[in-house]
């Protein structure tokens, strides 16, 4: 996906609507992808994806620990 968003085809020769039709997506999706990933190469995208996964994992870990702390406070009668 990143390759054809950054390709020279979408800068001149082939209209965006035609490219989107070929790849089965809307024009809005194309522009959203281009705004988010347009200046990145594949390694940057994979690094960003890894960071998002790590962030998701840490948020889940925090939520679990927070819930455990609340349960302990409740069990000990403190609020």
Per-residue pLDDT tens for 13-65? 788 888 888 889 999 988 888 888 888 888 898 899 999 999 999 999 999 99
Residue 35 has a pLDDT of 87
The CA distance from 15 to 38, in Å, is: 17
What is the chain's alpha carbon radius of gyration, rounded to the nearest angstrom? Answer: 22
Residue 3 confidence (pLDDT)? 55
Residue ranges of the domains in the chain? 1-40, 42-79
CA–CA distances in Å: residue 19 to residues 1, 12, 37, 60: 11, 12, 17, 38
According to the model, what pLDDT value does residue 47 have? Answer: 93
Alpha-carbon gap, residue 70 to 65, rounded angstroms: 9
- For 54-68, the pLDDT digits (tens) are 999 999 999 999 999
On the question of pLDDT at 12 being above 80, the answer is no
């Amino acid at each position: 996906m990143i390759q054809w968003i950054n390709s020279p085809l979408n800068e001149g020769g082939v209209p965006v609507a035609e490219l989107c039709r070929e790849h089965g997506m809307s024009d809005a999706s194309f522009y959203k992808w281009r705004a988010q990933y347009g200046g990145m190469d594949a390694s940057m995208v994979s690094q960003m994806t890894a960071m998002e996964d790590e962030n998701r994992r840490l948020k889940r870990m925090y939520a679990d620990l927070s819930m455990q702390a609340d349960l302990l406070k409740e069990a000990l009668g403190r609020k």
